[in-house]
């Protein structure tokens, strides 16, 4: 008994199985009914959106890792009475990178949602 990959959901399935236990794809004929395909598309959309949401949280974390030290630097400068130029702080690069990463992920999420809505 060997394991093969289901062509529909890409899960590992026994080569002796007639249908995929995960998505119901008919491995013998290579066909699936419309309800099964719709369920599979919905599951793939949900999984991709989950990954993109986690990436957007990561982008926000990157921006915060840069913003918090900048805030402390600014507060220390105010307390010392020294003019502070935050543009010269290293955290600006992380804030900018986090913002660009976040914007890119959000655009990808919107395009994925539009493509999914169009296929429905």
Full DSSP string of 8-74: TT--EEETT-SB-TTT--BTTT----HHHHHHHHHHHHHHHHHHHHHHHHHHHHHHHHHHHHHHHHH
The CA distance from 78 to 61, in Å, is 26
The verdict on 8 and 41 lying in the same domain is no
Mean pLDDT over each residue of the chain, to the nearest integer: 90
Q: What is the pLDDT of residue 25?
A: 78
The verdict on 21 and 70 lying in the same domain is no
Element (H, E) at 76: helix 34-80
The verdict on 108 and 79 lying in the same domain is yes
What's the predicted TM-score (pTM) here? 0.75
Residue 103 is encoded by which pair of tokens?
């914007």
Residue 43 is encoded by which pair of tokens?
């599951």
The verdict on 59 and 73 lying in the same domain is yes
pLDDT tens-place string over residues 6-63: 877 778 898 888 888 887 778 887 766 777 778 888 988 999 999 999 999 999 999 9
Helices 91-119 and 34-80, packing angle to 10 deg: 160
The verdict on 2 and 42 lying in the same domain is no
Q: State the residue range of the domain holding 25.
A: 1-32
Window from 2-6, 42-46, 81-85, 110-114 with minimum mean pLDDT: 2-6
Q: Is pLDDT above 90 for 120? A: no
pLDDT tens-place string over residues 92-109: 999 999 999 999 999 999
The verdict on 80 and 106 lying in the same domain is yes
Q: What is the pLDDT of residue 104?
A: 98
Q: What is the pLDDT of residue 16?
A: 87
For 105, counting Cβ atoms within 10 Å of its Cβ (0-12 exposed, 13-18 middle, 19+ buried), the class is buried
């Amino acid at each position: 008994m060997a394991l093969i990959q289901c062509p529909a959901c890409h899960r590992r399935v026994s080569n002796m199985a007639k249908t995929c236990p995960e998505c119901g794809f008919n491995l013998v004929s290579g066909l699936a009914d419309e309800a099964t395909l719709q369920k599979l598309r919905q599951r793939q959309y949900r999984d991709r959106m989950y990954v993109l949401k986690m990436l957007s949280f990561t982008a926000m974390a990157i921006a915060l890792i840069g913003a918090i030290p900048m805030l402390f630097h600014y507060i220390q400068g105010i307390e010392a009475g020294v003019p502070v130029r935050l543009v010269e702080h290293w955290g600006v690069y992380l804030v900018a990178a986090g913002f660009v990463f976040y914007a890119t992920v959000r655009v990808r999420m919107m395009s994925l949602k539009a493509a999914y809505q169009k296929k429905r």
